[in-house]
Chain A
Amino acid sequence: VIKHEDADVIAAVLAGDKDAFEHLIRKYQSKVFTLVFRLVRDRETALDLTQEVFLKIFQKLSDLKDAGKISSWIMQVAHNTSLDWLKKRKVDSFAADFEDQQTQQKIFQHLADTNSPSPESIVELMSPSRMSELVSKLDVKYRTVITLRFIEGYSFKEIAKILNLPLSTVKFRKHYALQLIKDRWMQIARDGDQ
């Protein structure tokens, strides 16, 4: 049903009904804005880039061969537009301590320690806002997969299509990102937020 609705809207826009394009904006704006905001980490920039994404979609709409693919196409454009912006400004940062093997080893030892807090008590300390902070510190390629998978609810197959990556790569990035977030959270639970 969704595909048909999109197909009708696309047909109307291509026939000259520019107002029909607003249906596509309203349907996909939150998904696009969320991905762009999570990647560029600035609301004003995300607003400008989301606008740019929809204008690109409008201008290239006639190139879309299969209306059923519009969702992944829009997200592809959103992803590429955000990456271009990050590349131009070279603003993306990496949290070095996330990938520190020694830290991970310490965390495991901590978990094995009988005096350490239980996993349940560590989980109780978690909150969506604290998770959101940790996600924003991930490398952009992990941030992208976590956003699409858990915050936006896309399947692995859809994510692979959006990012133009093999399914196995997407799954590995998801696993690795969860591992980083989990380990970082345990470090915070042990040492306090630094």
Chain B
Amino acid sequence: MASAPECQPIQELLSDLAEGELEAPEAARVEAHVSACADCRAQVALFRGVVANLIAIGEEEAPAELSRRVMARVHEPSLAERIVTLLTLPFQPGFLRVAVPTVAVVLLAIALRPLMPDNRVPASPDHVAGVPVWWGGNLLVNDVPHAPNKSGRLGLKSGDSVRTRNKVEAALPIRSAQVEVKPNTSLIVTDDGISIQQGEIVVHIDDHKPSTDTFRVISPDAVIEHIGTTFRVMAAPGEYTRAEVFQGKIRVISTGGVVHEMTAGEFVRVLPSGAIEPGPETIPADSLGSNRGGPDVVKSITQPLPGAPGTR
């Protein structure tokens, strides 16, 4: 900021001069002033240095996986393409041969649904086969997108991260459990289960399968251990973790060391303070809220209680 009054009208043009952006008549006028003014000459020299170094920063190289990730999404069928496929389905060869038995099975399942022992458990298409499946879009494993038709080849191991985005759901065999991963969920596979950072999972563990493993879900607020059961964990970082039992029993251990065992139909909220708030025995209809935010840190994890009924 030169103080001489004659420098004031020139100030805004000095950076243009340094850049070579001034038109000839104006450039000559400013250069004439600069050659006679040591302060403005010094400023032009500094501007030239700044500009040269800014240009030398150069563009960033885009990560190699960018193109692959975008193209994987580009190749997903659009809504219009899905509608066209649906509308033309009845005209495809063999449609009736497949459709009639399928509709019959679906109608039978609907009719028998109230007689089922637990109709709240969301069905995943591959509980029995133990093959990973996902639908609604790409599944991100270690941030690498996997298209829905690539099922059965994930090979998840400890330390792998799994992420679902909007509308993407997955059913994944992890350790001794079949885990339903709901949209907008982030989790990491651990040595003995899952660490959920945010979102919602439903864990199914087959009690009839002999196993000595304990399956643990670690959330920002709690450790939830199975005692032979099907349960759901929802993590809303910074707010609470909610655990809910569909079948059997689970044990919830908060980061504050509070231990709570619960049976089918119960749910609890585990607060960041470590407190556990037991809920009513019946699950309210609005219990399936969405979750937001980033992961918290588990500060302490207590040891599981020995000899609890059904513990493996």
Contacts and interface: CB of A to CB of B under 8 A. Distances in A.
A60 to B, nearest CB: 12
Contacts of B15: 174-175, 178-179
Interface in A106-157: 107-108, 111-112, 118-120, 122-123, 126-132, 135, 146, 150-153, 156
A3 interface: no
Contacts of B58: 128, 151
A122 B46 contact: yes
Given A51-B66, A123-B46, A21 B59 contact: no
A58 interface: yes
A66 to B, nearest CB: 23
Interface in B52-96: 53-63, 65-67, 69-71, 73-75
Contacts of B69: 51
Contact of B3 (A38, A108, A120, A122): A108
B261 interface: no
A47 B63 contact: yes
B47 A111 contact: no
A71 interface: no
Closest 7 A-B residue pairs measured CB to CB?
Answer: A123-B49, A150-B54, A29-B62, A119-B45, A128-B56, A33-B62, A119-B42
A34 B60 contact: yes
B2 A127 contact: no
A30 interface: yes
B54 A135 contact: yes
Contacts of B70: 21, 25, 51, 54-55, 58
Contact of B57 (A18, A43, A105, A135): A135
Tell me what chain B mostly uses at the interface: helix, strand, loop, or mixed. Answer: helix
A37 B74 CA distance: 23
Interface of B: 1-3, 12, 15-16, 18, 21, 39, 41-43, 45-51, 53-63, 65-67, 69-71, 73-75
A87 interface: no
A120 B56 CA distance: 18
Interface residues of A, number: 57
Contacts of B56: 128, 131
A152 B56 CA distance: 10
Tell me what chain A mostly uses at the interface: helix, strand, loop, or mixed. Answer: helix
Contacts of A32: 62
Contacts of A175: 12, 15-16
Interface of A: 18-19, 21-22, 25-26, 29-34, 37-38, 43, 46-47, 50-51, 54-55, 58, 104-105, 107-108, 111-112, 118-120, 122-123, 126-132, 135, 146, 150-153, 156, 171-172, 174-175, 178-179, 181-182, 185-186
Nearest to A180: B50
A26 to B, nearest CB: 6
Contact of A30 (B49, B53, B60, B75): B60
A150 B63 contact: no
B219 to A, nearest CB: 22
A3 B58 CA distance: 24
